[in-house]
Amino acid sequence: MNTDSRLERIAEARRLADRGRSAEQRGTPRDALGWYDRALASLETAGSDTLCADLLRWKGTVHRECGETAEAAALYRHSRTVATSIGYRAGEAHAVNCLAGIAQRRGDLADAEACYDEAALLAVAAGDVRLAGMIQQNLGILASIRGDCDGALARYRMSLRTFEELKDEQAVSWVLNNLGMLFADQHRYDEADAAFTRGLALARSRGDLLVEGAIEVNRTEMLIAAQRWEDAEGGCQRALRIAEQRGDRLRTAEALRLVAKLDRHLSQLDHAIEVLDKARALTDESEDALLGAELLSELGEVRHSQGRIGDARDAWREALGAFIRLGASQDAGRVEARLGALGPTSPGRSESTPVA
């Protein structure tokens, strides 16, 4: 292939990749995968390895955001191999950052942290300021899971400052989502709502359905905690609609957990169990260890509300073990307190039978 033909093929691949990125943002992930595959097919004869590494990573992220974790991990590893082989330091850093996210989802926080640290060094070497800000945010998420609220807040503020200086509205909306979650965990509901509202406005202004769906889920959880039931019901419906529109199994499971939590508060307990069963099936497919533990914790709450104390105890014990393995100290402490409040098992009595 002569030079002009090769350049034309690379330019075509970039046009196809841009269409994939646009489809991903609009919330049509299957279309995005199709465009990325066409771009990769074009590159087989054009030979642009840096774009190949990027396309493999972008494909992986589409799969990851739809809860297809194994497919995402394989593509991220392939992307890293390609980037490393050609000395594409920024591409390698991005791939390692993405692999850290996979380890985090699967519950291996130590491996995730090691990967984030490696990615940070690669990002600095590549001079990629935006990626360095992303990694700071991701390390903030790890700190939040571990109950280090001050550490999480410091990292979120650092990454927010970086993205605001870069005028990167998409990345700003990511950090606002995480800040909202952190404030909600601390019962700082007004600050949480302000962060979520600003993040939603940015996502909607760009037509970014992926980020909008994520923020809707987390804002709805805050509304339930604040006992704003009517607002929470609307949030559940919006979060489910966006997740189902995108074919996003993981976000659907997250939204269903909130539906179950709202059902419990409204004493619709049989429906809550039905919804949790659906959410747990979706979560098992996506390998999200933290969400799996959260669903078990909520199952314990519903069983307790039904008077099925033994079943509640079993669910909370399983959730506690999962939270401990994840290093999620705040969640573990909360479930441990719920178990402690049940007291010891009474011999000779089935705990699952309500006592009049």
What dihedral do alpha carbons 75, 289, 214, 251 form, nearest 10°? Answer: 80
Residues of the chain with CATH 1.25.40.10: 1-124, 128-247, 249-356
Whole-prediction pTM: 0.84
The CATH code that applies to domain 1-124 is 1.25.40.10
CATH superfamily of 128-247: Tetratricopeptide repeat domain (1.25.40.10)
Question: Which residues, including other chains, have CB under 8 Å from residue 119's CB and lie 6 or more apart?
Answer: 93, 94, 96, 97, 100, 131, 135
- Does pLDDT of 38 surpass 60? yes
pLDDT of residue 94: 97
Q: How far is 53 from 274, CA to CA, in rounded Å?
A: 42
Q: How far is 329 from 21, CA to CA, in rounded Å?
A: 37
- Does pLDDT of 306 surpass 90? yes
Q: Which of 101, 16, 2 is nearest to 52 (CA)?
A: 16
What dihedral do alpha carbons 52, 20, 5, 82 form, nearest 10°? Answer: 0
What dihedral do alpha carbons 192, 194, 199, 202 form, nearest 10°? Answer: 180
pLDDT, tens digit, 9 for 90 and up, residues 141-177: 999 999 999 999 999 999 999 999 999 999 999 999 9
Q: Which residue has the higher pLDDT, 256 or 345?
A: 256
Question: Which residues, including other chains, have CB under 8 Å from residue 280's CB and lie 6 or more apart?
Answer: 253, 292, 295, 299
- Residue 342 has, within 13 A of its CA and on its CB side, a CA count of 25
249-356 carries CATH number 1.25.40.10: yes
The answer to which of 24-28, 124-128, 328-332 has the lowest mean pLDDT is 24-28
Q: How many helices (H) and strands (E) does the chain have?
A: 17, 0
